[in-house]
Structure formats: C-alpha cells, structure tokens
C-alpha cells in the first residue's frame, strides 16, 4: 500500500529467534533499494572482505516517481525528478589504493530507459545512460560477478531478460596481466 518499513536485527541462531526493530517507516514509496557503502579489503589467505559503513543507503521512488537517496534515517535528496519506475543499487569495485573506485551505484528506469548515478567520494556524478540496455525496460536488478564486474539484469516490456556486464576493473589488489599487440605491414 505504498508504505516502506525498514527493520533490522542482530543475527542469532536459530533465525526464528531474531528480534526485529523498526528503523524507519516512509509513506508514498513505490520502489526501494537498500545497500551498504564500504570497502573491499584483502585479508589473510587472499580472501577479500567487504567492510561496510555503519548505516546503509536507502534509495526510494516516491508515488510521484521521484528518486530519493540518503543514509537510512534521512535526510534524503532527489536524484531524479519524475517518472522513475524501478531501481536497484550496488557498491561498485574499489581498489586497495583507490586508483579505481566505481562508488555506490544506483540504477533506475525512466520512461523505459535505464540510467545510473554514482556516488564517488561523497559527490553524485550525475545521471548517465546505460546505452546497451534495451530501450523498453520495465525492471532492473544489479549484482556482482565472481571477478568483481557489475551485471545488470534488465527485463523489457515483452518479458525478455537481458544481462549487461561492466568491464573488468582491476588494479594493484588482484593479479592482472595484459598483452598489447601492434600490427604492421
């Protein structure tokens, strides 16, 4: 009925014993995404952990189609004025030395077109088009692959599901080799 309720709980076992606390309730919400910002940190045995900030980011679409963003509990700022219908968000990859930082990325649909906006170093980079997504999109979902790329699953109005992958972004935190060829006649 257009009411968003965000709850949290400490993880306990069995899970049925968890006690849930209401963090926020918001009227007039048609779609939402909740994601933690943070950093990927290499630990022992070449494992990588995702260490998060204390509060997650909440992205929501109002009943007027406005995309709002902010740390859970507010305040929230408008990232797009009208006609937003579907959203998802993910933390892009950031290298150990921050030479690569894709930031916090929110994906959203306006009039069937998929767009994104990135929060890098506390600054929103502005709305950009996902040019290879279908032009009649009705839903978008973001995930991360085993090699740290971001993949979008975009469904179009006819029900066809597309997958759109980002390029590999590697630097000093993982082993990476490349070859360069020069062709001459």
Give the number of other Cβ atoms within 10 Å of residue 95's Cβ. 18
Structure tokens at 99: 């030479």
Q: Please say whether the beta carbons of 131 and 100 come within 8 A.
A: no
Separation CA 128–CA 132 (nearest Å): 12
Helix, strand, or coil here: 177? coil
What is the phi/psi pair of residue 17, to 5°?
-90, 0
Exposure string for 18-30, b = 16+ CB within 10 A, e = fewer = eeeeeeeebeebb
What letter does residue 101 receive in the DSSP assignment? B
For residue range 36-90, list pLDDT tens digits in order: 988 777 788 878 777 788 899 999 999 999 999 999 998 999 999 889 999 999 9
* Band of pLDDT at residue 168, cut at 50, 70 and 90: low
The torsion angles phi and psi of 16, rounded to 5 degrees, stand at: -65, -15
pTM of the model: 0.83
Asked if the model's pLDDT at residue 152 lies above 80, the reply is: yes
What 3-state class would DSSP assign to 155? strand
Residues 152, 114: contact at Cβ < 8 Å?
yes
Which contiguous run of DSSP H or E holds residue 84? strand 84-91
């Amino acid at each position: 009925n257009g009411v968003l309720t965000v709850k949290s709980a400490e993880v306990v076992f069995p899970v049925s014993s968890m006690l849930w606390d209401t963090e926020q309730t918001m009227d007039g919400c048609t779609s939402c995404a909740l994601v933690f910002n943070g950093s990927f940190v290499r630990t022992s045995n070449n494992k990588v952990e995702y260490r998060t900030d204390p509060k997650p980011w909440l992205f929501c679409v109002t009943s007027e189609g406005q995309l709002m963003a902010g740390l859970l509990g507010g305040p929230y700022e408008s990232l797009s004025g009208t006609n937003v219908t579907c959203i998802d968000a993910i933390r892009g990859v950031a290298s150990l030395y921050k030479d690569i930082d894709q930031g916090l990325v929110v994906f959203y649909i306006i009039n069937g077109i998929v767009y994104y906006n990135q929060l890098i170093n506390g600054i929103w980079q502005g709305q950009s088009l996902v040019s290879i997504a279908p032009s009649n999109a009705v839903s978008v979902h973001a995930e991360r692959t085993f090699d740290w790329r971001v993949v979008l699953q975009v469904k179009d109005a006819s029900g066809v599901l597309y997958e759109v992958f980002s390029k590999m972004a590697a630097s000093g935190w993982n082993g990476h080799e490349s070859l360069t060829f020069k062709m001459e006649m």
